[in-house]
Amino acid sequence: MRRGLALALAALVLLAAPRLGRLASAHLLALDLLVPGWAPTVQSAGREPVTFDGGTADLYHPGGPPRGGLVLVPGLSRQGKNHPAFQRLARSLARAGFLVLAPDFPGLRAFHVAESDVRAIVRAVQVLRAEGGSPTGILGFSFGAGPALLAAADPAIRDQIALVGSFGGYWDLANVIGFITTGWFEEDGQWRQAAQQSYNRWKLLAALVPYMEDPGERARLQRLADRKLANPGEDVRAELGGLGVEGWRLLALVENRRRDRVADLVASLTPAMRERFQRLSPSAAIGGVRARLLVAHGRDDDSIPYTESVRLARAAPNLGRLVIFDGFTHAFPSEGGWRSRLRQARDVERLVLLLDALLQIAPSPYPLPHWGRGY
């Protein structure tokens, strides 16, 4: 009997070992992300610039055989792949054993979301796989999550993608437009309102300007958006002279603050503009995503409502995990008193479970975590 019990316990240990080892890695990866500078690591990591088809990227190497490859897609940020927080994330993932490719997206750095981003991600996946980054995943953040999901549905690579992550992303751009301009979003059949920042309004204008048909209107409103992004309080009336019908309609949408006007203002835009930002909404392509999907969002996000990620998760053909963080805004922990800190403490467990799901992209090449000192 004792021998049978010993064999049963040994079998349980063998079955649980991969899960326990992965959870240990997930906990230490979470610590690496949350406490920059402590930097525990399975292995050291290096970074080198790479060029492909006229594009550039940073390739982060793990110190040993990679467990898989990840293409990282940032949101709307002037610094793009060079943002310090984005670089820390790439290094942490490389230290956890991933081969990480972080391309430069000039459009996203200019606050534009375009179909060219989708094509660039598809090509980045092909480059990463050629470098040995397989099985392969794509992680998209904020407004970069939309192109990431669209790329994962592209027939050229969709059967090569094992995992795709949407963090702080969106389901339908029309919903995001309504939220940024009015603060209203729908939650469980009820309308709720959140405070909005003026900066987001002008960021939205910069994102929509490239969809305009008239080049003169595009240039005029781009200048206006750039000036408002630099100083939201600046007087830009001089830029309004000579603005045509298309420009005025877009500006009216961006400056609108009434929920009951959003649908009519969107309908007033040119058919080409409406069609274009609809094509850039994951709602139009989620059925083509065959990879396992990880979705995460901050409940207090003031740029994209967390309900967009809930809709995305509900429609996903192959949902791996949905995580809603209580103590995070769009990209950072919420500021506030002790109640906010308690919410963030509870979020650590959610982060660990999310990272555990990410690490399941493939069995770890390491029998047990061996955490040393990295950067």
Cα–Cα distance between 218 and 216 in angstroms, integer? 5
2 found inside a domain: no
pLDDT (0 to 100) of residue 64: 85
Q: For the residues 282-309, what does the mean pLDDT come to?
A: 94
> Which residue range forms the structural domain that includes residue 206?
177-278
Report pTM: 0.86
Identify the domain boundary among 278, 310, 329: 278
111 found inside a domain: yes
Distances in whole angstroms, Cα of residue 334 to Cα of each of 98, 181, 345, 372, 374: 29, 22, 12, 31, 28
Residues 163 and 234 in one domain: no
Residues 311 and 291 in one domain: yes
Q: Which of 186-190, 211-215, 327-331, 370-374 has the lowest mean pLDDT?
A: 370-374
Q: For the residues 261-290, what does the mean pLDDT come to?
A: 92
153 found inside a domain: yes
CATH number for the domain that contains residue 310: 3.40.50.1820
Q: For the residues 333-341, what does the mean pLDDT come to?
A: 52
322, β-bridge pairs: 295
28 found inside a domain: yes
The per-residue pLDDT for range 213-262, each reduced to its tens digit, is 889 889 999 999 999 988 888 888 877 878 899 999 999 999 999 999 99
Percent of the chain's residues with pLDDT above 90: 55
Closest Cα to residue 71, out of 45, 89, 84?
Answer: 89
Query: Which region holds residue 60: left if phi is over 0, alpha if psi is between -120 and 50, else beta?
Result: beta
pLDDT exceeds 80 at position 315: yes
Residues 241 and 332 in one domain: no
Q: Which of 21-30, 48-57, 309-318 has the lowest mean pLDDT?
A: 21-30
Residues 77 and 200 in one domain: no
pLDDT band at 43 (very low <50, low <70, confident <90, very high): low
pLDDT exceeds 90 at position 179: yes
- State how many domains the chain has: 2
Q: What totals of helices (H) and strands (E) does the chain contain, helices first?
A: 13, 12
The answer to whether 105 touches 73, Cβ cutoff 8 Å, is: yes
pLDDT band at 199 (very low <50, low <70, confident <90, very high): confident
Counting Cα atoms < 13 Å in the Cβ hemisphere of 96 gives 31
1 found inside a domain: no
pLDDT exceeds 90 at position 30: no
11 found inside a domain: no
The per-residue pLDDT for range 54-95, each reduced to its tens digit, is 689 999 999 888 999 999 999 999 999 999 989 989 998 998
7 found inside a domain: no
pLDDT (0 to 100) of residue 341: 56
Distances in whole angstroms, Cα of residue 69 to Cα of each of 93, 108, 126, 362: 10, 22, 11, 10
| SS3 of the chain: helix, strand, coil, percent, to 5 | 50, 20, 30
10 found inside a domain: no
Cα–Cα distance between 352 and 248 in angstroms, integer? 47
Residues 154 and 189 in one domain: no
Residues 114 and 255 in one domain: no
